[in-house]
Structure 1
Amino acid sequence: MKQYKRILFSFIPLVLFSSCSGLLDLEPETQVSDQGVISDKRTSLAALYGIYNNLQSSYPTTVTAFNLAGDNVITYANPTIIVPDRNVEDNGGAPFSALYVTINRANFIIHRVPGVVDNQFTSAERNQIIGEAYFLRALTYFDLARFYGGVQLITKPTERIDTHKGLKRSSLPATYEQVLADLNEAERLITNTTDRSRATVYAVYALKARLFLYTEQWDQAEEYASKTIATSGLALVKPYTAFYTTKLSNESIFEIVFTAADANTYWRSYLSRDDGGNQTYVPEASLIAALRDSERGGTRQQVLRESSQEPGLFAIQLYNKKDGTGSLFVLRLAEQYLIRAEARARKTNADIAAAIEDIRAVQARAEVTSVLELTATSAAEDVLAAIEHERRLELAFEGHRFSDLVRTGRAGEVLGEYNALLKESYQWVFPIPASSVEKDPALEQNPGFE
C-alpha cells in the first residue's frame, strides 16, 4: 500500500448521495413553501419525514468531510496536501446550504404544527413531531458549529432563499446555546423511546452529553452520558462488527436508515474494488497499524479489509452493504462511555478510577488484549491520552477525529505533523463557501479565508 504521511483537508469533490422516497409510509415534502402544506396530522408527518429524507442525502457528506479533515481517512487517488478553498461550492463536501435546508424544514414544523387543527391529532403525537424537529435542528446547528464556528441563527421558516439576508453570524458560544435550547425543548416534548431511526428521548440525552463535552461542562456531560448508558435496551454489542452489520442494534441510539427501495450509494466510496466499490477513501497508515495491533485495536481491526488485488491496500468496512441498506451512525453507546470517561477525568473533582472503568468497558467489548496500565492514582493527562486514543480507534470512521483534536487544542500538534498549514488555528474551521458570502455581505468569511 502507498504509505501517506500527509493529510487531506477535504476540499476535493465528494460523491453526491441521493435517496428516493421517505422513511416510512408517507412521501416526504421536498419543499414546504406555505402554511397550507402543513394542514393536518398527515402533512405534519410528511413534513417531518422530509427532514429525515434530507438527512439521508446530506449526512453522508457531513461524515465524509469530517473524516477527511482529520488524520484517519485519506483519498487513494490523490494523496497530496489539499488546503481549504473558499471558491469550491460547499467546500467540495463540507455542507453549508444543505444543512440550512434541514433547519428551514424544521422551522416550518416548529412554527406551523402547533396551530394545526385535526381531531385525529393527539397532543402526544403533535408534541413528538415538534420535539423531533427541535432535535434535528439542534443536531444540524451543532454540526454547522463544528464545521464553521458561529453561524447565522435562523429560527423562523423562510419561503425565499434570501429572507435572512443581512443577518450577522452569531458567536460559537451563542450557537451552542441555541443547540442546548433546542435540545431542552426536544427533551420536554419527545416521548418516543423505541424507534431509533427517529429521535428518541435517549438520543436527546446522548446529544446533550456530546454538547456538554464540547462546551466543557463536565458534570453535565457525565450526567447525560450516564442517563444514556443506564437506558434499558441499550448495550455494547458483540462482536464489534454487530453494531454496523445489524440495523438498529442494541448499541444504536440514533442512526439514519436506508432500504433497498430507498438505498444509499456512499458505500461505493469506501468499499474496495474487490467488493464492487471504487475505494475513493482509504484509512491512513498509522490508523491501520493501530487497528491491526490486537493489543490496541482488538476486534476493531475487522473494520478493515485487505485487498486481494493490491496487498497492503485496506478498505473500510463500516459502510459495507452493497445493496445500499447500510446505516449512518449518528449516536451510539460506545461514544457515551468515552464521553463519560473524559468528563470524569476533566471535572474539578476528577474520578480517575471511574474514567478508567469506562475506557475498559469499551476495550473489553473490542477484546483488546493489553491491560490498560492506569490506576486510580494515574495522572489525568495520562487518562485523557488513553481516551483520545480509544476515540480514534473506536469511532474511527464516524466523523469525530477532526473535531476531537480541535476542541482539545491538539489539532496543531497532531495535524501539523502532516501539513505545516494545519498548525495555524484559522485552518481548524472550514471556510464559508464564497458563493454564499457573495450573495450576503453580512455573512462574514472565517478569518484567513478572505
Structure 2
Amino acid sequence: MKSLKYILLVSFCMTLVCCNKFLDVQPKASISGENIIVDETSANAALNGVYSALRTYYSVDFQSIAYLSGDNIQWTGSQSQVQEFINHQVNAENATITSAWKGIYVAINRANQVIKNVEELGDDVIAESVRNRISGEAHFIRALAYFDLARTWGGVPLITQPTLEVKDNTGIPRSTVEETYELVLADLDLAESLLPETTNRFQATRKTVWALKARYYLYNKNWHEAENYATRLINDNANYELLKPYYAFFADGVTGTRESVFELFYNANELNPHRGQWQPQQNGGTRQWAPNNTFVNLVNDPAIGGSRSALVAKDNQNRWYGNLYYRSPATDPTYVIRIAELYFIRAEARAELGLLEEAQADLNAVRSRAGIANVTTSSLADLLIAIENERRLEFGLEAHRWFDLVRTNRATSVLNITDPNKFLMPLPAEQLLVDDTLEQNPGY
C-alpha cells in the first residue's frame, strides 16, 4: 500500500496543479488541505479533480474487467494478460488489475480530501447549500468507488481520511465485504441527505443516489428497497424515459439524453480511450476488443436483438466491431447508469417478490423499446433467465455482464467456471509486497 499511497498523494497534487487556473492559491507539496481548499472556487476545482479520477478509472481499466470476464467480448490482441480475463485465470501481477485498483483508490483519496476540507470551511467563505452539494457529490463518488471495489475484489481496506504522507494508511487490514458495503450505504445515505433533488446527468444529485441505491439493494438482495428506489426514477417520466429506437441514447453524437441517469463526459482535452480499443483500423482504432460470434448472432437476430443491432458494425475486412464508442475525437461518454437498468432492477426485484406480472411489464418495456415481442411466462425461474438474457444484450458493451453473472450465482453454469474463488479478482501483487497486512483472495 505504500506505493499506492504515494501515487494517491502525487495524483491529488497533480490534479490541483492542473486545475490551478480555477484557484486563488498555489498548491503545496503536501495535501494537508492548508491553503488548498479555502473557498467555493477552490472547493469546486477540487471536486472537478474527483470527477476526473472517476472518469479515468471508468475509461478503460475497470470496465475492461467487466467486459472481458463476461461472454460477449473477444480479445484480438496479443497480450496474454488481457486474455487472462476471458480464460478466468487472472494473475495477481496483471497490469489491468493493478491499474484499476490504484485508479479507484485515487478517486477515493480525492473524495476524502474534498469531504474533509469542505466540511471545515466556515459559512463566511462558502454557503451551506454549496458546501452540502460539494460534500454530497464527493460522498456519492466515494460510495460508487467502494461499491466497485467490493464487487470486484470483495472486502478491501476502508480509507476515509486523506492521504497526507506516504506512510499514511499502511497497515490497514482488509475489511469484510459486508463492512465495505456498509460504508457504501452510509455514504449514499449521507449524500442523499445533502444533495438537491434535481436532474443532472453529469453530476451527482439525490436522484443519482437513488439510482445507485437501487443497484446496491439489488446486489444485496433487498428486493423491497431495490424496487422502491428504482420506482422513484422510473416514475419520474418528466425527466427519464426509454428512448426509441434503442440507439437514440448514443447515436449521432448525442450526450445527456433522457435515457441517461448518470454518464461521465469527456472532451478534446480529456479523451475517452474506449474508442481506440473498439474501432477498427479503418477508423483509426485497434479493434482489440470485439464482439464475439455469439453476441453478434444474438444482437443481429431481429427477434432477439431488435434495434440493438446498432451496437455492432462491419469494417472493410468484413469483421464485426463494437460501435458504442465511435466519436472522433474520442469524446464518447461512459454510461454508468441508464434508466433501462432501473427497469431491469425493478423487474428482478418484483420477480423475487412474487410479482411476476409486474416484473414482466418492466421487462417488456425494455423489449418493446428494442422493437421485439413481449415475454410471457408463469415461472419465476424462466422470468429471471429472461431478465438475465435481456440485460446481456441491452448492456452488451457496458460494464454489467460479468457482475450480473457473479451476483446471481450463474457464472458457474454460464461461463463454466469450476473454481468459485475466481468470482473475485486477485489483489495486485505489488500491493501485497509493500504491505504485509493485506491478505490475498483465496485461490490466488
Tell me the TM-score normalised to structure 1 length.
0.88
State how 1:45-444 maps to structure 2 within 5 Å.
Answer: 45-60=44-59, 61-78=61-78, 81=87, 83-91=89-97, 95-117=100-122, 119=124, 121-191=126-196, 193-231=198-236, 232-245=238-251, 246-309=254-317, 311=318, 313-347=319-353, 350-368=354-372, 370-374=373-377, 378-416=378-416, 422-444=417-439
| 1:216-242 per-position Cα deviation (integer Å, ceiling 9, x unaligned) | 000000000001111231111122112
Aligned with 1:111: secondary structure?
A: helix
Aligned with 2:155: secondary structure?
A: coil
Distance 1:425 1:53 in 2: 34
Distance 2:102 2:219 in 1: 24
Indicate the residue corresponding to 2:31 in structure 1.
33
Amino acid at match of 2:53: N
| 1:407-446 per-position Cα deviation (integer Å, ceiling 9, x unaligned) | 1111111111xxxxx3210111110001001111111110
Amino acid at match of 1:326: D
Does the 8 A contact of 1:26 with 1:49 survive in 2?
A: no
Distance 2:278 2:96 in 1: 21
Q: Closer, same or farther in 2 for the Cα pair 1:233/1:294, shift >3 Å? A: same
Q: Closer, same or farther in 2 for the Cα pair 1:151/1:343, shift >3 Å? A: same
- Which deviates more, 81-90 or 102-111? 81-90
Amino acid at match of 2:262: F
Distance 1:57 1:262 in 2: 9
- Which deviates more, 254-263 or 167-176? 254-263
2:440 alignment partner, one of 435, 440, 445 = 445
RMSD: 2.3
- Which deviates more, 388-397 or 29-38? 29-38
- Residue 262 of structure 1 deviates from its aligned partner by 2.9
Aligned with 1:163: secondary structure?
A: coil
Distance 1:24 1:237 in 2: 40
Indicate the residue corresponding to 2:3 in structure 1.
none
Q: What are structure 2's unaligned runs of at least 5 residues? A: 1-14
Aligned with 2:52: secondary structure?
A: helix
Amino acid at match of 1:360: N
- Residue 55 of structure 1 deviates from its aligned partner by 1.6
Aligned with 1:160: secondary structure?
A: coil
Distance 1:274 1:26 in 2: 40
Amino acid at match of 1:435: E
Does the 8 A contact of 1:203 with 1:254 survive in 2?
A: yes
Does the 8 A contact of 2:19 with 2:45 survive in 1?
A: no
- Residue 161 of structure 1 deviates from its aligned partner by 3.6
Does the 8 A contact of 2:199 with 2:239 survive in 1?
A: no
Does the 8 A contact of 2:299 with 2:306 survive in 1?
A: yes
| 1:73-111 per-position Cα deviation (integer Å, ceiling 9, x unaligned) | 121134784621112345365x11111111111111111
- Residue 31 of structure 1 deviates from its aligned partner by 8.4
Distance 1:75 1:30 in 2: 43
| 1:100-149 per-position Cα deviation (integer Å, ceiling 9, x unaligned) | 11111111111111111363521111100000000000000000011100
- Which deviates more, 236-245 or 142-151? 236-245
Distance 1:25 1:239 in 2: 42
Distance 2:306 2:333 in 1: 23
Percent identity over the alignment is: 37
Distance 2:30 2:43 in 1: 11
- Residue 194 of structure 1 deviates from its aligned partner by 2.9
The total of aligned residue pairs comes to 417
Amino acid at match of 1:426: N
Does the 8 A contact of 1:340 with 1:355 survive in 2?
A: yes
Q: Closer, same or farther in 2 for the Cα pair 1:305/1:30, shift >3 Å? A: farther
Distance 2:245 2:199 in 1: 23
Aligned with 1:282: secondary structure?
A: strand
Amino acid at match of 2:71: D
- Residue 189 of structure 1 deviates from its aligned partner by 0.3
Does the 8 A contact of 1:30 with 1:50 survive in 2?
A: no
- Residue 275 of structure 1 deviates from its aligned partner by 1.9
Distance 1:24 1:128 in 2: 21
Q: Closer, same or farther in 2 for the Cα pair 1:26/1:295, shift >3 Å? A: farther
Amino acid at match of 1:111: K
- Residue 168 of structure 1 deviates from its aligned partner by 1.2
Aligned with 1:86: secondary structure?
A: coil
| 1:176-217 per-position Cα deviation (integer Å, ceiling 9, x unaligned) | 111010000010001162321111211100100000000000
Amino acid at match of 1:211: Y
Does the 8 A contact of 2:16 with 2:27 survive in 1?
A: no
Distance 1:203 1:23 in 2: 25
Amino acid at match of 1:263: L
